[in-house]
Amino acid sequence: MRIGAPLPIDAPQEKGGTLSLLELTGIGPASNFRVELADRLNIFTGDNGLGKTFILECAWWALTGNWTSSAVYPREDASKSEPQITFEVTGASGWPEKESSKYDWRRHTWVTHHERLTLPGLLIYARVDGAFAIWDPAGSYDSDSERNYYRPLILTREEVWDGLLEKSGGKTRSIFNGLINDWVDWQSNPKNYPFEILRQVLLHLSPPGLEEGDLGPLQPGTPVRIPGDRRLMPTIKHSYGEIPLVYASAAVRRIVAMAYLIVWAWEEHKAQSELIREEPQKRMVILIDEIEAHLHPQWQRIILPTLLSMAQILQRDIQVQFLITTHSPLVMVSMEPRFNPKRDKIFHLNLMRQNLLTAEVILEEPEFVRYGHVNSWLMSDIFELRHARALEAEKAIEAAKKLQLQNKITKEEVQQATDELARNLAGNDEFWPRWLFFAKQFGVEL
């Protein structure tokens, strides 16, 4: 068997696939995106509005055949024959299955023409708005037809916490219990399972630091009642006391929800696999939009490394493919000791101006550079800041540099530039020695 060769059409259906290729033509902010993904970590960077979340949404669709909300619509300049989504899903055997889907203009949907031979492993998608999506190759969330057997579970932020009920044929069934109910049920289980797994994952994903003033590790407290709610409410221990989870900070709630959904999805997958007499999958795909959302810089610096190693808490031999987006230089600097070019990739969305009126979004695949300092990341081609300073300080420095290049300079101009620098630069700014040496030649001192 040749790794990377196309999947034979007579091959049996294979599960445990990950996404190895995504090509988008005639949709989104660019006329064409081609993404050849790594098998472990894929980081997407770029300015707002250039398509990072769009790529995650299309990746989710390529893996599941379902959109988390509305289907993406072709570009206005796309002809009726152009819009196309091409993707490869590669199973554990190494055989990639390639498929292309075209847009049906009459039905406003994306059409595929055959059953997939490679199904992905367990999928978890954490959206930036607090919503989640889960796709389980062993589970069924829609029993209406065989075709919809693998329909994903799409949860709003509120449903993640409070659960999801489905009414059909005069009956109501629980599709998803929700974090609040499951947490209390798991915690009260005499065997303390799977609560112990959740506890370990929370501890693993906790913010760093045990010094005075730090938040401390994420540890479950004793459930309590709160006004206006008849349920027992989970609590989290902070250094200043136990806090009901619904009152916790946005950062704590996001990490707690992510930890819970990962544990829940894995435990549910094992239970469903046992019901259908199959072995649980050994491969997962986790998509996270803006991984640093709500997190303090200290937490941003460790969240991705801890997620990369978190799967081993669930089961030692699980392999996880990550697709994440970020605007954080601290997330990037955290990967410097861990980035493996053989298994990891960085993708950068950039806006290239073609002329005064038009520009095109392009997808670059830069080499991962170890800049060593967060300021160097900020001023790298990834984040493209000219200065790691306030905008006013940047303008003052650029004006001072421009003045230095002029042939005729007056003392008044140098004094004015010095005053502007003094208003906007810190006293220990590295630009001062250069400027003060220059200003002194015109009799100007700070």
Q: Which helix (H) or strand (E) holds 321?
A: strand 319-325
Among residues 264, 280, 296, which one ends one of the domains? 280
**396 part of a folded domain:** yes
Count the helices and strands in the chain (H runs, E runs): 11, 21
DSSP state of 7: P
Beta carbons within 10 angstroms of residue 401's beta carbon = 14
Q: Which domain holds residue 89?
A: 1-121+282-385
**133 part of a folded domain:** no
Q: If you write DSSP's letter for every residue of 207-223 in order, what string do you get? A: PS--STTS----EE---
Please give the pLDDT value at position 143.
45
Q: Which helix (H) or strand (E) holds 197?
A: helix 195-204
Q: For 354, what's the count of Cα atoms within 13 Å in the CB-facing half-sphere? A: 7
**131 part of a folded domain:** no
If asked whether residues 111 and 161 sit together in one domain, one would say no
Beta strands in 26-117 (DSSP E): 32-36, 41-46, 84-90, 96-104, 109-111
If asked whether residues 377 and 420 sit together in one domain, one would say no
If asked whether residues 263 and 173 sit together in one domain, one would say yes
If asked whether residues 3 and 78 sit together in one domain, one would say yes
**319 part of a folded domain:** yes
Among 12, 27, 8, 144, residue whose Cα is nearest residue 77:
27
| pLDDT averaged over 10-residue windows placed end to end, the chain, 446 residues | 50 81 92 93 96 96 91 76 88 85 89 78 95 88 45 94 88 91 94 92 87 76 94 92 94 96 95 91 95 95 95 90 97 96 96 77 94 94 92 95 94 95 95 94 88
Is the separation of the CB atoms in 220 and 236 below 8 Å? yes
If asked whether residues 194 and 298 sit together in one domain, one would say no
Buried b or exposed e, range 31-52, using 16+ CB within 10 angstroms:
bbbebebbbbbbbbbbeeebbb
Please give the pLDDT value at position 177.
94
If asked whether residues 117 and 1 sit together in one domain, one would say yes
Instruction: Give the number of domains in the chain.
Output: 3
Q: If you write DSSP's letter for every residue of 245-259 in order, what string do you get? A: GGGS-HHHHHHHHHH
**141 part of a folded domain:** no
Please give the pLDDT value at position 31.
84
**132 part of a folded domain:** no
If asked whether residues 313 and 333 sit together in one domain, one would say yes
**362 part of a folded domain:** yes
If asked whether residues 244 and 321 sit together in one domain, one would say no
Is the separation of the CB atoms in 126 and 289 below 8 Å? yes
Among residues 232, 260, 280, which one ends one of the domains? 280
**92 part of a folded domain:** yes
If asked whether residues 204 and 224 sit together in one domain, one would say yes
Distance between CA atoms of 144 and 169, rounded to whole angstroms?
12
From residue 26, give the alpha-carbon distance in Å to each of 68, 83, 104, 342.
20, 4, 13, 30
Among residues 339, 356, 385, which one ends one of the domains? 385
CA 58 to chain centre: 14
Which domain CATH number covers 366? Answer: 3.40.50
Kindly state the tokens that stand for 95.
Answer: 């055989």
If asked whether residues 226 and 165 sit together in one domain, one would say yes
If asked whether residues 309 and 264 sit together in one domain, one would say no
Among 280, 262, 32, 232, residue whose Cα is nearest residue 133:
262
If asked whether residues 365 and 340 sit together in one domain, one would say yes
Kindly state the tokens that stand for 319.
Answer: 């392999």
Please give the pLDDT value at position 210.
56
